[in-house]
Amino acid sequence: MAESLLPGEAPVSLNEARCWLRLGATIDDAVVAGLVRAATSICEAFIGQWLIVRAGAEILSPTGGAFQPCARPIVGIDGVMLLSPGGGDVALDEDDYRTVIGRDGTARVTIEDLRDATRVRIAYRAGIAEGANGIPEAIRQGIVRMTQHLHDARDGAGAAPPAAIAALWQPWRRLTLGGGR
């Protein structure tokens, strides 16, 4: 499972969400900020991609010396570390592994000599854009609308999210057949 080491910037500001919800200044700021974070997480899960570029890491088991982190889109591999069964960690030099990043944002890291490692830790950066302004407007609009849905349903109303949200996010949805995302 991909782990983000940093929380990342929100693609929708608190002011944008507050205005969409027609709330006055500083009313329920903590609640609205939490709803924006939740809506962003829902969006990332739906489209299968991280929005704002941030650092992440995964610990993977070897399968033939090739590893594919599940976070997408990968923009760079920052480091690879071999994890031995006895607890010893060995950081690899860039010459000790090969990295291929596809146009779709998938990355493949190949290590020729795993030594006695039973697992590998791959550190990377992943995300669609460097900042909120680089996120496509349809994705941002979907997050605002999901924030509204979550705000309206916070008292336990169990209505499903509007289909318009999925329609806004659908063009950026990345799925693969098999075990990958």
Q: Strand, helix or coil at 140?
A: helix
Q: Is the pLDDT of residue 140 over 90?
A: yes
Q: Rounded mean pLDDT of 76-82?
A: 95
Q: Rounded mean pLDDT of 165-177?
A: 87
Q: Is the pLDDT of residue 5 over 70?
A: no
Long-range contacts formed by 137-141: CB under 8 A, 24+ apart: 138/168, 138/169, 138/171, 138/172, 139/11, 139/43, 139/47, 139/51, 139/168, 139/169, 139/172, 140/11, 140/12, 140/16, 141/168
Q: Is the pLDDT of residue 171 over 90?
A: yes
Give the span between the Cα atoms of 166 and 47, in whole angstroms: 9
pLDDT at 177: 55
Strand 97-101 and strand 89-91: pairing?
unpaired
pLDDT at 178: 52
